[in-house]
Amino acid sequence: MRCNQCGTEITGDSKFCTRCGAPVIEEKQNTKQQNTKQQNTKQQSKGINGIIIGIVLILLVASGAFFYLVNERSHTKETFEKTVETYEKLLEEANLEEVKEYEELLVECEEVLSKHDKDMYPYLQEKLRKAMDEIEDKAEVEVTSLPDQDEPYKEKWEQLFTTEAENQEFTGLLEQLESAKKDGKTKTVEKASEEIEDLIEEIRKANQEELETRKSEVEKVVLSGMTKGEEVLIEGLKEELDKWCKEENYDEAFSTIQGWENFVDAFEKESEYKEQQEKEQKEKELELQEREQELKEKEQKQQQTNTQYRTQTYSNDFIIYDSNSRYLTLADIQGLSQYELLIARNEIYARHGRCFVDPNLQNYFNGKSWYYPSIAAADFTESMLSEVEKSNAYFIREYEQSKGYLK
């Protein structure tokens, strides 16, 4: 017996076609009805009832078969679509060099899906599975045959001047690369490799730019007064820096430029220190000269005063004639009156030619032969007195205050 739908031969007691799923019960049931009608012509009423029951059974069976077939076909199509999707994703991730035959198979599957050619699903399903096995095998061979790229990357990285954060980023990318190689993910391997190369190139350019800037800055510094040895050292650093830059060994280049900068800083600091020392030395010498000149002038003036004193009778013209040359004691002033204490204290100033605002004092000293008024009261300062004179003037003033003569 053959199927009425596709012509496939039906064997055994199958109720449905094994190829297209069409029901075959109806034909058998019709044959049975015809045989029953021929054998039971006399029992027409009973036969009609049997036919009706048979038709109902056939419809029920056919309906169940239809829904079964629809569900089965729907399930088959869904499975095929998922297989195609998995195949396409695997082919993309494998990233094989020769993919023409695999792409042709993918195009064939898509055409079958678009035409709803359900009869081709099982055939292509098996073909896809075999192709996926081949792709996985080839992808594994390609990944395992990749050269060991870790070492070249590490060598390049070690020649760069990097931060801790950059080192961590590089290490993370290397781990991704190694993991992708182990898992056989060619596309991930290529992506990780590209990211590592991009990172190395980015840092290489940054190193180069920073080195050029720092070299330009350090070359601007004028180092005057260098010794021959220091000049040779600088030239050696320049040559070494150029060498490392040419070899793109930026780690060594940064070490060299740092040494150059350190030398320049130390030289400048030493030069500044020397300049400061020279400046301080000159200031000290100038101060010493001024002090010597001042002492010399005081000495000359004192000599002149002493000369004048020697030509005069001190005992008659002074209350305390030697108050400019020795420290007074209480015994020297204890017996003096208020007026005598006032004269004794101002004698110290009058010896240096100080003028007085008080007319009584001025008239008094004008009458002394040793008195030569030359300095206005406003211009006179304590620095014109010797230490002995300052001490004696202060001593007499304190005594006057203790007596209540001065406020």
Co-location of 138 and 69 in the same domain? yes
Co-location of 160 and 204 in the same domain? yes
CA 121 to CA 251: how far, in whole Å? 62
Co-location of 59 and 137 in the same domain? yes
CA 37 to CA 48: how far, in whole Å? 9
Domain contains 127? yes
Whole-prediction pTM value? 0.37
Domain count, the chain: 3
Co-location of 139 and 162 in the same domain? no
Residue 53 has pLDDT above 80, yes or no: no
pLDDT, the chain, mean: 79
Tens-digit pLDDT profile for residues 100-120: 788 888 888 888 888 888 888
Of the residues 162, 182, 208, the one at which a domain ends:
208
- Give residue 269's region: left, alpha or beta (phi > 0; psi -120 to 50): alpha
Co-location of 341 and 392 in the same domain? yes
pLDDT of residue 31: 42
Task: Please enumerate in sequence order all residues whose Cβ is within 8 A of that of 9, keeping only pairs 6 or more positions apart, or say none.
Answer: 1, 2, 3
Co-location of 107 and 198 in the same domain? no
Q: In which band, very low, low, confident or very high, does the pLDDT at 19 lie, cut at 50, 70 and 90?
A: low
Co-location of 43 and 122 in the same domain? yes
Phi, psi of 252 (to 5 degrees): -70, -35
Co-location of 138 and 160 in the same domain? no
Co-location of 133 and 165 in the same domain? no
Cα–Cα distance list, 347 to 98, 184, 341 (Å): 124, 114, 10
Of the residues 127, 144, 161, the one at which a domain ends:
144
Find, among 88, 94, 175, the residue nearest to 136 by Cα. Answer: 94
Co-location of 100 and 204 in the same domain? no
Q: In which band, very low, low, confident or very high, does the pLDDT at 271 lie, cut at 50, 70 and 90?
A: confident
Domain contains 254? no
Of the residues 144, 168, 188, the one at which a domain ends:
144
Tens-digit pLDDT profile for residues 384-400: 999 999 999 999 999 99
**CATH classification at residue 342:** 1.20.58.1690
Domain contains 393? yes
Q: In which band, very low, low, confident or very high, does the pLDDT at 27 lie, cut at 50, 70 and 90?
A: very low
Domain contains 397? yes
Q: Which two tokens stand for residue 233?
A: 């050292």
Co-location of 40 and 81 in the same domain? yes
Domain contains 40? yes
Q: In which band, very low, low, confident or very high, does the pLDDT at 267 lie, cut at 50, 70 and 90?
A: confident
Domain contains 216? no
Domain contains 352? yes
Q: What is the DSSP string of 192-236?
A: HHHHHHHHHHHHHHHHHHHHHHHHHHHHH---TT--HHHHHHHHH
Co-location of 43 and 110 in the same domain? yes
| Domain span holding position 110 | 25-144
Q: Output 219-226 pairs: Cβ under 8 A, ≥24 positions apart.
A: 221/264, 221/268, 223/264, 223/267, 223/268, 223/271, 224/271, 225/271, 226/267
Domain contains 391? yes
Task: Please enumerate in sequence order all residues whose Cβ is within 8 A of that of 167, keeping only pairs 6 or more positions apart, or say none.
Answer: none
